[in-house]
Chains A and B, each alone.
Chain A
């Protein structure tokens, strides 16, 4: 029988002769999802082959030599007992087929027209790319969840270090504390300047302190009531300050990292609430897929489990929002609107998480748009606090939660 060129294409699998004419061929399944699925399986080396390829394999004859373009097809052929197998990439018969593939697809009835061929290919390739992207992003949701936890750990530790340093360095220069409320700036000054004699106007300005403030601090340093310390005593404070600064920088870098990973793993959730909050939701749910399986009402109170259980136990009001409280439009809005906005956001989040986890389509823009409209509507419909119920209702659990969240982040 001589040489046969075996070519697998999206539209089917074919045996070609040396001139590129089709000797035998089978069309692929037309359904795009199914066709994509079968081709992905072939690519991943699964034993399950695309239907058209299996059909061709049933027709193999022992006295033919088969030419293919991939090692993988060569292996599959050998395993099926084909005697002669060659790999010849870009061989003329393959090129001939590719030159006419749109017409061939029409002639064989896979599609009705060249236009339909291109529409089909575009839909096929888009779906294939999406599915592969999703596979590439798999389990990276866990990296996002771990890094957001690391960020929380860093925040806690950094706050602990900062409080300790303020007290410790306060032995030497207690007045500095009230002048510099931002932790990282306080620590940077201690690390860069050390002894309070170094707190001069010029040096402070060089470190970014505005002139008027620098003057006050320099004066406070000159008149400080703190104890004099030797280099020997200042050194360990500086070492600790350096470590705290490293932690602070690491936190910023991790935040950038989480944003980047989240844009890849969960672009729709990220479009709605940003990478950090999105990762926090994934972390609370366990994984992206877990988040996707939660009902919107649960997403709304994720992170407020304590308050929720207390409410169930004592019969007080359940919390209206968990960690999504961090979404600016919720905490910036008046109290009586928050629960409604939280419900709307949770609804969109639930859709976004499902799309991210199961199809990988990009619907973020639309969700953001819809949410914006809903928030505007809430603001229009409920401009004033409802008179009795809400104001009289018990609010304590909510207050407590807000306070706690604030202490979780470094002051800045």
Chain B
């Protein structure tokens, strides 16, 4: 393994880092909130007394979106994030690093098996809170939540855009930001990805979102795109 030689902040976000390695390559990374702990087998780098966690773009669509040049990464220290489709917490863990100890990440997941793994991430990270519920029915977990600054949606469901609008209506602050991962193929196999994006994006617009940017995630993830939007309510 090549050793880390230098670390710098990513131009788009103070709490996202680029670690340069001996061999000249570089990796996206976040400052590990729980030093010594890995979440999904990622590499840990020690530089000048700090531990950074490699953020693998093949495993996390947000990392892929950043490397593919998304226009901005509106996650600030202290932000409250509602994350739909937390799965085993791979991306959640990096979002948790970015928003830091004063931030909060509420992870919604409805599959029991992955929820169990997610609870292990919750156990180690004091800013991550689990919600075992169906993201299509935000009113069923409204009593567990507060308004949030950022909504992140990656549930790989056909009705993703409408459930996103619904969740925003319940929980997203005006001016709040949305990350929206579209898995084109799971929505409609017969149509070209661009058609699917268009229809999904229309639904988002009708739900009060203004699109800031869309990036396709290949080669890290085929047939996916990340949509960044702002909530106008």
User: Chain A: residues with CB nearer than 8 A to chain B?
Assistant: 7-10, 39, 43, 69-70, 89-90, 94-95, 98-99, 101-102, 118-119, 121-122, 124-126, 128-130, 132-133, 136-137, 260, 263-264, 267, 362
The reply to whether A133 and B115 contact each other, CB–CB distance below 8 Å, is: yes
CB distance B126 to A122 under 8 Å? yes
> B residues touching A (Cβ–Cβ < 8 Å)?
104, 112-113, 115-116, 119-120, 122-123, 126, 128-132, 138-140, 142-147, 166, 169-171, 173
The residue of chain B having its C-beta at the shortest distance from the C-beta of A115 within the complex is B102
Q: Which residues of B contact A70 (CB under 8 A)?
A: 139-140, 142
Are the CB atoms of A8 and B143 closer together than 8 Å? Answer: yes
Least CB distance from B101 to A in Å reads 10
Please give, as numbers and ranges, the residues of chain A lying within 8 Å of B173 by CB-CB distance: 99
For residue B142, which residues in chain A have a CB less than 8 angstroms away from its CB? 69-70, 89, 94, 98
Question: A90-B138, A264-B116 given. 5 additional CB < 8 A pairs?
Answer: A10-B144, A89-B169, A89-B170, A126-B130, A133-B116
How many Å from the CB of A201 to the closest CB on chain B? 44
Residues of chain B within 8 A (CB-CB) of A132 are: 132
Indicate if the CB atoms of B112 and A9 lie closer than 8 Å: no
Whole-angstrom CA separation of A164 from B115 in the bound complex: 47
Contact count A vs B, C-beta below 8 Å: 85
CA distance A267 to B115 in the complex (A): 12
In the complex with contacts A9-B143, A89-B169, A129-B131, A264-B112 CB distance below 8 A: yes
Bound together, the chains give a CA A365 to CA B129 distance in angstroms of: 22
Contact yes or no, A133 B132, CB < 8 A: yes
Give every chain A residue within 8 A of B104 (Cβ-Cβ). Answer: 118
Considering only CB atoms, which chain A residue lies closest to B233 in the complex? Answer: A95
Q: Return chain A residues, CB-CB under 8 Å to B112.
A: 133, 136-137, 264
Residues of B within 8 A of A118 (CB): 104, 129
Task: Give the 3 A-B residue pairs with the shortest CB-CB distance, closest first.
Answer: A90-B169, A129-B132, A99-B147
Q: Could you tell me if A122 and B116 are in contact, using CB atoms closer than 8 angstroms?
A: no
Interface-centre pick from A43, A89, A125 (highest chain B CB count, 10 A): A125
How long is the Cα–Cα vector from A93 to B116 in the complex, in angstroms?
Answer: 35
Asked whether, in the complex, the Cβ of A125 is within 8 Å of the Cβ of B144, the reply is yes
Bound: A338/B75 CA distance, A: 56
**Residue among A119, A122, A128 facing the most chain B CB atoms (10 A cut-off):** A122
B147 contacts A98, C-beta separation under 8 Å: yes
A252 CB, min distance to chain B CBs, angstroms: 20
Closest chain B CB from A341 CB (angstroms)? 28
A102 to B123, CA, bound (A): 22
Cβ-closest chain A residue relative to B147: A99
Chain B: minimal CB distance from A209 (Å): 37
Alpha-carbon separation in the docked complex, A267 to B120 (Å)? 12
Q: Which residue of A lies closest to B170 (CB)?
A: A90
Smallest Cβ-Cβ distance to A132: which chain B residue = B132
CA distance A395 to B115 in the complex (A): 47
Chain A residues whose C-beta falls within 8 Å of the C-beta of B166 in the assembled complex: 89-90
Residues of chain B contacted by A94 (CB below 8 angstroms): 142, 170
25 contacts between A and B (CB under 8 A): A10-B143, A10-B144, A69-B139, A70-B142, A89-B166, A94-B142, A95-B147, A98-B142, A98-B147, A99-B173, A118-B104, A118-B129, A122-B122, A122-B126, A122-B128, A125-B129, A126-B129, A128-B132, A128-B144, A133-B112, A260-B113, A263-B116, A264-B112, A267-B116, A362-B116
| Chain B contacts for A8, CB-based, 8 A | 143
Residue in B closest to A102 when the chains form the complex, CB atoms: B146
Q: Could you say which residues of chain A place their CB within 8 Å of the CB of B129?
A: 118, 121-122, 125-126
- Provide the bound-state CA to CA distance between A125 and B141, in Å: 11
> Is A99 in contact with B113, judged by CB distance below 8 angstroms?
no
- CA A119 to CA B130, docked complex, whole Å: 12
A362 touches B169 (CB 8 A): no
Q: Are B169 and A263 in contact (CB under 8 A)?
A: no
- Which residues of B have CB within 8 Å of A136? 112
Residue pair B113, A264 in contact (C-beta under 8 Å): yes
Q: Are A101 and B146 in contact (CB under 8 A)?
A: yes
Please state if A129 and B143 are interface contacts (CB–CB under 8 Å): no
Closest to A267 in B: B116
Nearest CB in chain B: distance from A27 CB, A = 14
Chain A residue numbers with a CB within 8 Å of B169 are 89-90
Residue of B nearest to A123 (CB): B129
Kindly list chain B residues whose C-beta atoms are within 8 Å of the C-beta of A128: 132, 144
Q: How far is the CB of A300 from chain B (nearest CB, A)?
A: 28
Query: B169's closest neighbor in chain A, by CB?
Result: A90
Residue of B112, B116, B143 ringed by the most chain A CB atoms within 10 A: B143
Q: Are A98 and B130 in contact (CB under 8 A)?
A: no
How far is A284 from B35 in the complex, measured between Cα atoms in Å?
A: 43
A358 to B144, CA, bound (A): 24
User: Which A residues are in CB contact (< 8 Å) with B120?
Assistant: 362
Complex contacts, A129 vs chain B, CB 8 Å: 115, 119, 130-132
- Residues of chain B with a CB closer than 8 A to A264's CB: 112-113, 116
The residues of A that contact B126 with a CB separation of less than 8 Å are: 119, 122
Point out the residues of chain A lying under 8 angstroms from B123, CB to CB: 126, 362
A126-B119 in contact given A89-B170, A99-B173 (Cβ < 8 Å): yes
